Structure 1
Amino acid sequence: MTKLGIIGCGDVAFRSYFPVLEQLGDAQVVACFDTVADRARRAAARFPGAEAYTAYEEFLAHPGLDAVINLTPAPLHAQVTEAALRAGKHVLSEKPIASKVEDAQALIELAREQGLLLLAAPAVMATPRFKWVKRLLASGRIGSPTLAVAQMATMGPASWREYTGDPTVFYSATVGPVVDIGVYALHAVTGLLGPARRVQAMGGIAIPERKVLTGPHAGKKIQVEANDHVLIHLDFGHSRFAQVLASFAVPNSKAPAIELHCTGGTLSLDITRWYEGYGSIDVYLEDGSELGVEGWINGLYPPLPDEGPTFSLIGYGPAHFVRCLAGKEEPILTAEHATHVLEIMNKIGDSIRQGRALDLDTSF
């Protein structure tokens, strides 16, 4: 039984992580840390026997603590994860793994030296849906992938009526739509097509001020510091490409979350069901014969492996982490993949500023 600690007990912890952790038979949450004592206490109260901490060093010294899940704000991920690794804890980090590629690579080396598991969200490729897509591509049933088109576009957390935290940080220069939601699409397209070779992007701030719609911060005005429209092109080599829109300036859209075009068919994932880890897929099969027996298979659900309850896309992160620690799965959400996506995200900003395509150096 893995003894888990939670670092950061905010909105995402209560809405997305705790309901999953309460169902996992191979793990027990024994410690919860937050700088706000009330949040730490409310979190610990959900797990029998768990202790609440507001001092990080004391939290890491909790007796028997094996592994931690880092749910702190994005700018803190690297330093929080480093301290946990140095304390001998396995780590699952929310995205992004770090702010700089060099920091992410240092974390990978530290985990390797310590003999510890380091995984990073988002959990796209660990979901039953994307595992099935990978198997489908490997089978050759719909040919070889040539183009992925993805869109992660909303008005951002200030307009998310279910969000209960302060959304200001999401519009800051260190976060923005690429880091917050575009990262899902970037993990998906690289998870399916492999490491990208070049990136080119355009972006700007379309709506410079936001007002929080609901929750305890309703009415608060936020100045937007990060580009809220970002259009991204990726070159994977061998005439394989991807285009991704990451935006906090789109009121709504009926465009799919992602479409993958292959030489013998197309896969389409509905944006309204994107966060379902076991969601359906629309599949178009092309018939190369004169008979033309081809068309869409809509709402296809992949076979579900017998691996316990189904979760949201985000929920498959901690589920996969715990199964890896229990020796039941091989790591999919590797730190190397997360570092490659981090390099893409950082060079997106560089490409926008420089107005040109940039080569990518990392792989996974």
Structure 2
Amino acid sequence: MKKYFWLFIMVGMISGLSSCTPDEKQENEVVIGFSQLGNESTWRERNTASIKEAAKKANYKLLFANGQQKQSKQIKDIRSFIASRVDVIVLSPIVETGWENVLTEARDAGIPVILNDRDIQIEDTSLYQTLVGTDSTAQGRKAGDFLKKKFEGTSEQIQIVEITGTPGSSSTENRSLGFRDSLNMEKRFEIVESQNADYMLSKGKQAMEKLYQQKQLTNVDVIFSHNDDMTLGIVEFLETTSIKPGKDVTIVSVDAQQEAIHLLKAGKINCTVECNPNTGPKLMSTITHLLNGGKLEPCYYLQEQVFSEFSNLSAIPERGY
């Protein structure tokens, strides 16, 4: 009898251990590993929230990892997802290059990878399935198109300072490319300085202060900022000087977050090009389509618009970010 008593105890302990594994994948449960590059801006925070909300609505389990603006951390996180045998990996890459090895490991493990927001430069494009995000080249082009309309009929030379985002990221490279492409045939537009501010408010403010101290803003007509957070820092600094933002210097930004719309309505910036952060729903429908054996397009871009001094500003709805 004593022998059977201890047998019952052992069975109970084993059953108890097996029930204490909440992270264990349930049968038919879809698990997504999401490597976000960081939380450098309000836009990024909204992008993360959009994906978390959409995953919950789709009844998918989401394992989230913050890359803290470091590619090495993102690579480590992706390897952790591979070890966890997730069904799909979603990657928001901090930079364009250096992903071949870890994405090969994901493919060898049979785990598909989908890019979110930013693109990568890679020879073997079969290492990822598709990109869901925004067209950063078109965003740069729209910024340039606004300037052509703003200065239509002006024959004088227009000097431009460009404040860029993270070096080596597809959004930075492509916004610069699109902006130049738009203005390429307009010889009166000249980019006289390009400074990096890593998509951060504080660095945008620092970049503008440095240019001001070096007296490089004296004859500048336009500031093109690659995102609204940097623009907020730019306006914040200019308001400590005699230069009136939006009046003495035309300011064009990208993102169209709520604070930028407030600045636009106040006449402190002149244009903000939308970069839609709400990739979550499209990501989840794309993942569902993929897991059901569907064929994917090379990329899926969200719809976006431009808000400027030429817009009906009273008709702009709350942005939600």
Q: Where is the strand percentage greater, Structure 1 or Structure 2?
A: 1
Q: TM-score range by the shorter chain?
A: 0.3 to 0.5
RCO higher in structure (CA 8 A, sep ≥6):
1
TM-score where L is the length of structure 1: 0.38
TM-score where L is the length of structure 2: 0.42
Greater C-alpha Rg: 2
